[in-house]
Structure 1
Amino acid sequence: MRLGCRSPRKEVGEFNPNYQQAFRKEILAPIVKYYFQGELQQINNLPQTGPMIVAMNHAGMCFPWDFLTLGYLLSETREWVVQPLASVSLFEHPWIIWWLPSQWSQVLGGVRAEIGDFEAAIAQGKILLYAPEGIRGPGKGWHKRHQLQKFDISFMQLSDRYHIPILPVLCIGSEFLHPWTINSKKLQRIIKLPFLPISPLMLILLLFPSMGIWAMKTRLKYFIQPLEQQIYSGKDRADTYQQAQKFRDKLQTQLNQELKSINKFF
């Protein structure tokens, strides 16, 4: 993290599982356990091994702590090496690499969210953490925080092509990582960010710029859904799109049910 007003050194790094493990143990562990209080629910649905695509809803509207937390919990529970798909437009933006070292996501196992890199990782049988909503997830703002946005189709196409199952995971609590936001599309275009969430909490960022990747304290709960062995078996893009949106509708129904259960409890 950038604790002073200086530019990061340009360094090139490759994924190192040992470094990922050390980072998880020494840095992520206390953050996940005591700050975000991450929990896996319905662990009976969690497979023993991969490969697979772990598909999760995304509503943090900030740095993807919901993804990092899930990756940590899966690794701790099953000793998996989990690699998230990282948006190129976000993680290589000059503002992001001011806070974090250049190519930090690749060093920690991030796979570039481009079809070639995505397919290569799938072909190698890796366990990938993926957000079907893409940038639309964190960019949807507070008023749509529980509404799943349009799903991309690439993960379904690759799942079908390489016979890789999809593990749906629903995260509840990520909406409070950066609450009460609106996405300023006008400013977003000016500074060339994929999304720009604006909220009263941005005043803290103006006073303490180095906290740009931080988030509010919340409780992240992950509800693991049954494994989807085969969602689609066809080649027509239009049909794949329809199947992806049906899959989204199914997860939306499950998310609504989980939210209703939590609200009843409290």
Structure 2
Amino acid sequence: MTVVINQHSDSIIDQPLEISSNKGYQFSWFDWFCLWYPPGWLVLFNRHWQHYHSDPDGWNWWEYILFLLPCGFYLALLMRWLRLGCRSPRKEVGEFNPNYQQAFRQEILAPIVKYYFQGELQQINNLPQTGPMIVAMNHAGMCFPWDFLTLGYLLSETREWVVQPLASVSLFEHPWIIWWLPSQWSQVLGGVRAEIGDFEAAIAQGKILLYAPEGIRGPGKGWHKRHQLQKFDISFMQLSDRYHIPILPVLCIGSEFLHPWTINSKKLQRIIKLPFLPISPLMLILLLFPSMGIWAMKTHLKYFIQPLEQQINSGKDRADTYQQAQKFRDKLQTQLNQVLKSINI
């Protein structure tokens, strides 16, 4: 991420971000090409980051070109590794920047959500006017969390909320992610580590959090269990009760088609320390174009907002709380089945 089009060396992470017509990121023909060419999505993400941040350890122009060629990513990775003196990119600590989140939402997510995933909110009358709250959504797709990013974008556009997703630890520190994207990318965009301490701290601060009660079991369930909610974690109900934070259930339809026909290879997953490892016909293409790791199949993401759950009683002990969480899951499964029936899926 050193020599790129539209990069401003004076826009560094420690400076306030100003969004304006003459300073915002402007799509070039190359960016539009990257948007509609699957291996180019990773280029687009990194180029946008470099427009606003100084990143001397990042990808450069010649390496971006290699992303777009079969097996070129491997050569680009070698070139970058040698350029950095045979070391990994520096692991910098970044803090949430609402201004950059807004810029990324408007300049990168907007065309992807509107023209590619065609994201839309249904039953908007169930949306409260303000937070704090836990937005609990079914999670699927076995790929980059596009169902989360799309919902965050739609909620922010509809209510002007600052939404922060609870994200798997792998999105912050896995070696693959550190090479794909800037090391602080997830933090700066508002990601909260999916660890109980970070989760509770965010709840205590009264934030609007986007959360998957199924945890990694959701996207990892595979194609044969699509539309089947998995066991819910209990932490969100405990924290909702403790801090009197309501839960807004949201049902996502279409996320299963982000990466269809998949199975999860649990043995290989454990070896390479990934939250899940999808095996599908698309994986053959991924071997040729590793930069497609953040891409997903085109689908129509519909979100059905359910009534706000304000009276949360997490129970007196862990076993009781677990039962309450699974009753909540069963309720959402029934609602999900009704939605699927209504739209003939």
TM-score (norm 2): 0.73
SS of match in other structure, 2:220 = coil
Q: Is the 8 A contact 1:148 1:252 kept in 2?
A: yes
Q: Is the 8 A contact 2:222 2:264 kept in 1?
A: yes
Q: Is the 8 A contact 1:66 1:174 kept in 2?
A: yes
Greater shift after overlay, 6-15 or 106-115? 6-15
Greater shift after overlay, 20-29 or 2-11? 2-11
Change beyond 3 A, Cα 1:132–1:213: same
Change beyond 3 A, Cα 1:106–1:208: same
| Percent of matched pairs sharing the same residue | 98
Q: Is the 8 A contact 2:116 2:299 kept in 1?
A: yes
Q: Which structure has the higher relative contact order (CA within 8 Å, separation 6+)?
A: 1
Q: Is the 8 A contact 2:232 2:326 kept in 1?
A: yes
SS of match in other structure, 2:335 = helix
Change beyond 3 A, Cα 1:99–1:3: farther
Displacement of 1:89: 3.5
Q: Is the 8 A contact 2:170 2:177 kept in 1?
A: no
Inter-partner Cα distance in structure 1 for 2:297 and 2:241: 38
Summarize deviations over 1:244-266 as a string: whole Å, max 9, x none: 00000000000011111111xx8
User: Which has the larger Rg?
Assistant: 2
Inter-partner Cα distance in structure 2 for 1:44 and 1:4: 55
Displacement of 1:90: 4.5
Q: Is the 8 A contact 1:169 1:222 kept in 2?
A: yes
Change beyond 3 A, Cα 1:194–1:3: farther
Inter-partner Cα distance in structure 2 for 1:91 and 1:2: 23
Change beyond 3 A, Cα 1:207–1:252: same
Change beyond 3 A, Cα 1:175–1:38: same
Change beyond 3 A, Cα 1:8–1:34: farther
Of residues 222, 230, 241, the one that matches 1:141 is 222
TM-score (norm 1): 0.95
Change beyond 3 A, Cα 1:9–1:152: same
Summarize deviations over 1:53-103 as a string: whole Å, max 9, x none: 000000111000000000000000000000000111354211122211112
Displacement of 1:7: 5.4
Inter-partner Cα distance in structure 2 for 1:249 and 1:257: 12
Displacement of 1:231: 2.6
Change beyond 3 A, Cα 1:236–1:129: same
Change beyond 3 A, Cα 1:6–1:13: same
Inter-partner Cα distance in structure 2 for 1:261 and 1:4: 58
Summarize deviations over 1:230-250 as a string: whole Å, max 9, x none: 131533111000000000000
Change beyond 3 A, Cα 1:76–1:6: farther
Inter-partner Cα distance in structure 1 for 2:189 and 2:240: 24
Inter-partner Cα distance in structure 2 for 1:171 and 1:104: 25
Greater shift after overlay, 194-203 or 37-46? 194-203
Change beyond 3 A, Cα 1:233–1:241: closer
Displacement of 1:145: 1.2
Q: Is the 8 A contact 2:214 2:233 kept in 1?
A: yes
Q: Is the 8 A contact 2:237 2:314 kept in 1?
A: no
Summarize deviations over 1:153-178 as a string: whole Å, max 9, x none: 00000000000000000000000000
Inter-partner Cα distance in structure 2 for 1:120 and 1:105: 17
Change beyond 3 A, Cα 1:103–1:260: same
Q: Is the 8 A contact 2:247 2:310 kept in 1?
A: yes
Aligned residues: 264
Displacement of 1:6: 9.9
Q: Is the 8 A contact 1:54 1:167 kept in 2?
A: yes
User: What is the CA RMSD across the aligned residues, in angstroms?
Assistant: 2.4
Inter-partner Cα distance in structure 2 for 1:4 and 1:26: 33
Q: Is the 8 A contact 1:180 1:199 kept in 2?
A: yes
Change beyond 3 A, Cα 1:232–1:69: same
Q: Is the 8 A contact 2:314 2:320 kept in 1?
A: no
Inter-partner Cα distance in structure 1 for 2:281 and 2:174: 23
Change beyond 3 A, Cα 1:233–1:214: closer
Change beyond 3 A, Cα 1:103–1:83: same
2:286 corresponding residue in structure 1: 205
Displacement of 1:3: 16
Q: Is the 8 A contact 1:2 1:210 kept in 2?
A: no
Q: Is the 8 A contact 2:314 2:324 kept in 1?
A: no
Displacement of 1:111: 0.7
Inter-partner Cα distance in structure 2 for 1:4 and 1:148: 46
Change beyond 3 A, Cα 1:4–1:62: farther
